[in-house]
Structure 1
Amino acid sequence: MTPDAPEPGSVPESVPQPGPVTAWRLRPGFAVTLLRNGLHLRGRRGSVTLEGSTALPSLWRLLEEPLRTGESTELLRQAEAGSSVRKALDTLIAQLRAHDLIVEAPADPTPDWVAATAERPVEAASAIAAAWVQVLAGAPGGPLAEAAGRALSQGGASVSYAAGRALPAGAVLLCAGEDERWAVAAGVCGDAGYVTAPGSPEQVRADAAALAARLSSGAQSSSSGVFASLLAGSAAHRLLCAVGGLPDPASEGDDQRLLPGLPAVLVAGVRPLRADYRTWLGPDRLDADRRVTLDPARTLTEALGRVSALGDERTGVLPAPLPGDLRQLPVPLAACDLPDGTVLAGAPRLDLARLDAFCRAAEVRLGGACRAVGATPSQAWGRALRRAAARTTAPAPGDTPLPSALWFGHPQARHWWTALTVRQGVRARLEVFRVRPDEDVYHAVVHNAGQDVGQDFGQVLGRAVEATPGDAAAFAALSAVAALSAAGEELTVRYPCGSDGSAAALATVDARAAAWEDNGWTTGWLADVARREPTLHTALHRLTGPTGLRADETATQHHELVALLRAFGFTVLTAEEGER
């Protein structure tokens, strides 16, 4: 049953009961499985399971043929109003309507592909039949243009061909409607191909040029007729759906990788022959649907969906943060490979490590003007304020750390400290300092103690700024464990990313912790950290003073990556001119 569907066997109050004179027809592609005491009904856009009576299969046998032929009116008339049979028929038809499995039987025949999804098949088919589609191409007689023309004709539209200018090599542009209201482009780039999202001709030309530049591999363009037909058919389908007011094919199905609210392009490959939709925004955003800005992610899963889109191997702008072959014990690790080195992050969970690695990679790519990137404003500010505090509140020689009893009793601090000193066998020292007597802000530092007992403390392995001694010690020790684990990998880690509590709120949204899950459990601990985060931000603002940071909207004019991150709901904090 679909996620938002009514409960099996229930009749939604909002669904009007079909009258005796309304003729209903099953949508093309409908299928049914008879159960012992029920039915499983499914179609292109919905499904429902009805259970509770052994009479349901028999009732369906009575109703199926009239519904398939669109001649259910007579059957409904024969069933006496108010009778149990009529009530059962009305209930079954109401369920079919609620799950978009039937449609009013049209007076005139409509193409099956239109009737499968259209809310009003007759109007949609009429709009498509009235459309005149122009196929523009550098070579109007080429295989891609001819395949597009055939697909458009078979879909019910009238077609003309013309030479097109300002198109990437190997591309076609399909335009339809008054003033060329709708357009879709398709193209072949070596062993890859693409189909843009529908839009204005200007927008689609810009998208096609950007995709051609991104997908070009230098290989000779495929001459496969099958490949050309795949791309041309997909382009024709998207255009005709736009003309007829049908759902865009990219929105069909349940591909969880696609982000609601953002356009998707079809990306295809020759070897092996495959094609799938991918969320993508080009550099030139002329149409209103290309200038959309998503709200900040509500959950960590939602944030990682956006990370996956931005890190897509074919259409992304940053390398994907992945665990790869990295060992995941004693600490989860994720790496993001940049041209000049690797970003590596460790965190209490792999999903948090992936988000941290991506945000750090974006910060590195943006350069010195960027102070922090986060999936939410809270995460971005948490990252930026912790860094500012780490610089301005670093303990000076001679400062007295807090007694270890104040942090060693924290189960997470004890766990990560033991992992560092016992499991990894590192001689180290962890010190926690209260930044100021009147503020609940603590700065923890893990030093490598070297091999000799009398040796001065040297390299900093990890540090953290948090709201309690235990939290600070735990994140500092975790960062040290991650740094030592990475040292044993064959990586050129130029940008290590320490762990902190800035994303704890994302990680615990909707999380249901058992009553016994205290801060010794990761979820319980992160929930505690998340509750303290707003107060910590306030204290860090007081400690660091004016930061010169802002969520700079004007930066979209100067850096394409900033604009793209913001469109995907990320927060980018930049420094005002003249600030360090």
Structure 2
Amino acid sequence: MSGVLLRLRPIAHATPTATGLHVRGWRSSFTVDGGRGLWTIWERLAGPLAEGVPPERLAVPENASPAVARALELIIGQLREHDLLVEVPAGWGDGGAGDGGTSHRDLGAPPPDIASWLESVAASPLEAWRRLRSTTAVVTGEGAPAAAAHRALTAAGLDVAPVRPGAGLLLTAGPHVVAAGYAAAVGFAVAPGPVADVVADAAALADRLAGAPGTPPEVLAALVGSAAAHRLVCALGGLPDPATEVVDMWSDVPPTGPPHQAVLVARVDPLRAEYHPWLSAVRPREPNGTLLEVLGDRELGPVPTPLPGDLPQLPVKLAASGNAVGFGTTEHAARLDALLRAARELAPAGAVLGADRAHALGLALRTAARHLPGTPVTEDEWSADPTARRWWKAVVLRFALPAAVEVTRVGPGVVRAVVRAAGEELSWAVEARPADAVAFAALAAAGRAQADQARTRPPRADQAQAGQARTLRPPAGVPGPVVLCGAAPFATPDGAAAPWTNRDWHWPHGLRDGEDAFQDGLRALVGEAEPVRLGPVLEAAGLVAFAVPGATR
């Protein structure tokens, strides 16, 4: 190991604190407490580590006092745990011999800025540099974006062939390919991959973004070309894709990677660039992200982003995704409901969509049980329940609907509730308990009435003066009947439940605990539901669909 040095990654920075020190890296940080003397120990340790020390010398001196020994062990252990130490060949960056006797000068010594960058991000800087020098990169394109990509690849130390003419922007280095596109005001760079896949994704993205045709301004061209080059360099060098380097500033937990194919989207006025999840039809991945983040992404999601906007939020939470309006007891539930209603337009006819398998299956089985004969349930069996009473009062008192609810037991542990007003069926629900069935049906009926009132309400004075339309108002009301159910994946309530709370505080959270047993009872009544394929895009988002048992598709 005489040819190897252990260095502190250049990205690491330390700050003294009142009781110790705080060390920050690219993706994580740690704090060591124990007294002001820790900063002195850090300064004596960090100086040699910045230059590099043989790995066997990074140890606690035998003559160190117990307190100093414990401090050194703790700091060195934290540096290793947070990946802030890296091995480099002796002479790395100054033309010396590399590990195993191979001179990295034979590869073309990396400039100091590239050497520092590789020390900051690469697991093995020398191996990454070897990979970068292993092939000649090719830029196919025209104009400023191609020129920017060529400059960026050359600056990273790659051998780059002269630019080849071609439409769009395509960068190739060995088996790695990155495609990019641009218009007058928008540009993008797709994830690296095989040439056929990246070209297909680039074509689909160009159609999705539908930017106005034209030559991009110099700053956008430079951003798109450089971003595409960055992704190619990282793929060739075995480095993390830039999309995985985005870290929540409030969390020290490194991301596990983008939930799907990540695409950089750049726009001007103001100039900005962000990575967005892309539901690729040719490179689908296993779902690894929330539906709201992926399916409703504001740039690349196939359905409009579900938002409350200026829709009223009492007593029912409302959200809209395009023309689809969703309901719920929380904003998250309303946004998810709106998202699923909007996504139905993209699904095959007869498919019952859900946020996951339990939700989709539960909706399909409930739909099959909707018209089963049964025996009436008296009002006494549900009217004493606070949740059912609350939502029923919202229907008949808050919105003054001339409504009636019909509650029927259609099987052992299976109850249906239907809300009608003026001869029209507004909503229905099928649940295990009469109170839950009435609560869901009444919640949906109240939400529908609330959305209809929002549609007919005149715009605010400031909107009227500016001639603005209500951006989230559903233009034709909410098509009914509306179905909400206990199979939905309700978000966990914030904070710990107080000892005196009961189900009425967080309803309907917790109903899914009994969903498997309830679905077994539904199958006994209506039979099995068959899964329905939704295609690579919706399935990559995590959506699941079933056909209604007994229905003809």
Q: Following the alignment from structure 2 to structure 1, what is the Cα–Cα distance between the partners of residues 50 and 436?
A: 64
Find 1:483's aligned residue among 437, 442, 448: 448
Gap change, CA 1:465 and 1:43, over 3 Å in 2: same
User: Match of 2:146, as an amino acid?
Assistant: A
Is 2:172 aligned against 1:175?
yes
Q: CA deviation at 1:541?
A: 1.7
Q: Following the alignment from structure 2 to structure 1, what is the Cα–Cα distance between the partners of residues 256 and 41?
A: 39
Partner of 2:530: 550
Matched residues, percent identical?
39
User: Match of 1:569, as an amino acid?
Assistant: G
Q: Do the aligned residues in 2 keep the contact of 1:174 with 1:185 (CA within 8 Å)?
A: yes
Q: Do the aligned residues in 2 keep the contact of 1:195 with 1:234 (CA within 8 Å)?
A: yes
Q: CA-to-partner distance for each residue in 1:72-104, whole Å, 9 max, x for gaps?
A: 879858933665345532431221111012212
Q: Do the aligned residues in 2 keep the contact of 1:440 with 1:467 (CA within 8 Å)?
A: yes
Partner of 1:390: 370
Runs of at least 5 residues in structure 1 that lack an aligned partner in the other structure:
1-18, 296-301, 449-456, 556-560
Partner of 1:520: 504
Structure 1 segments of 4+ aligned residues over 6 angstroms from their partners: 19-22, 72-75, 256-259, 575-578
Partner of 1:426: 401
Q: Following the alignment from structure 1 to structure 2, what is the Cα–Cα distance between the partners of residues 271 and 263?
A: 26
Q: CA deviation at 1:262?
A: 2.2
- Give the TM-score taking structure 1 as reference length: 0.81
Partner of 2:219: 226
Q: Secondary structure at the match of 1:572?
A: strand
Is 2:148 aligned against 1:147?
yes
Q: CA-to-partner distance for each residue in 1:281-340, whole Å, 9 max, x for gaps?
A: 333x2xxxx243227xxxxxx5xx333311223211112222111101011012222xxx
Find 1:446's aligned residue among 396, 405, 419: 419
Partner of 1:316: 301
Q: CA deviation at 1:464?
A: 1.2
Partner of 2:326: 345
Q: Do the aligned residues in 2 keep the contact of 1:144 with 1:228 (CA within 8 Å)?
A: yes
User: Match of 1:383, as an amino acid?
Assistant: L
User: Match of 1:70, as an amino acid?
Assistant: G
Gap change, CA 1:87 and 1:520, over 3 Å in 2: closer
Gap change, CA 1:363 and 1:421, over 3 Å in 2: same
Partner of 1:242: 235
Find 2:273's aligned residue among 259, 272, 275: 275
Partner of 1:42: 24
Q: How does 1:355-504 map to 2 (within 5 A)?
A: 355-370=336-351, 372-393=352-373, 401-436=376-411, 439-448=412-421, 458-490=423-455, 491=474, 492-496=476-480, 498-504=482-488
Q: Do the aligned residues in 2 keep the contact of 1:278 with 1:315 (CA within 8 Å)?
A: yes
Q: Following the alignment from structure 1 to structure 2, what is the Cα–Cα distance between the partners of residues 121 and 20?
A: 17
Gap change, CA 1:509 and 1:403, over 3 Å in 2: same
Q: Following the alignment from structure 1 to structure 2, what is the Cα–Cα distance between the partners of residues 333 and 76?
A: 59
Q: Secondary structure at the match of 2:133?
A: helix
Q: Following the alignment from structure 1 to structure 2, what is the Cα–Cα distance between the partners of residues 237 and 260?
A: 17
Gap change, CA 1:493 and 1:221, over 3 Å in 2: farther
Q: CA RMSD in A?
A: 2.9
Q: Secondary structure at the match of 1:242?
A: helix
- Give the TM-score taking structure 2 as reference length: 0.84
Q: Following the alignment from structure 1 to structure 2, what is the Cα–Cα distance between the partners of residues 147 and 293?
A: 34
User: Match of 2:26, as an amino acid?
Assistant: R
User: Match of 2:342, as an amino acid?
Assistant: A
Q: Do the aligned residues in 2 keep the contact of 1:566 with 1:572 (CA within 8 Å)?
A: no
Q: Do the aligned residues in 2 keep the contact of 1:345 with 1:498 (CA within 8 Å)?
A: no
Q: Do the aligned residues in 2 keep the contact of 1:345 with 1:499 (CA within 8 Å)?
A: no
Gap change, CA 1:497 and 1:356, over 3 Å in 2: farther
Q: CA deviation at 1:64?
A: 2.3
Q: Do the aligned residues in 2 keep the contact of 1:419 with 1:481 (CA within 8 Å)?
A: yes
Gap change, CA 1:76 and 1:500, over 3 Å in 2: closer
Q: Following the alignment from structure 2 to structure 1, what is the Cα–Cα distance between the partners of residues 377 and 58?
A: 82
212-221 or 181-190, which deviates more:
212-221
Q: CA deviation at 1:151?
A: 0.4
Is 2:525 aligned against 1:568?
no
User: Match of 2:81, as an amino acid?
Assistant: A
Q: Following the alignment from structure 1 to structure 2, what is the Cα–Cα distance between the partners of residues 402 and 270?
A: 61
Q: Secondary structure at the match of 2:118?
A: helix
Partner of 2:102: none
Q: How does 1:195-210 map to 2 (within 5 A)?
A: 195-210=189-204
Q: Do the aligned residues in 2 keep the contact of 1:345 with 1:497 (CA within 8 Å)?
A: no
Q: CA deviation at 1:468?
A: 0.6
Q: Following the alignment from structure 1 to structure 2, what is the Cα–Cα distance between the partners of residues 419 and 577?
A: 35
Q: CA deviation at 1:230?
A: 1.0
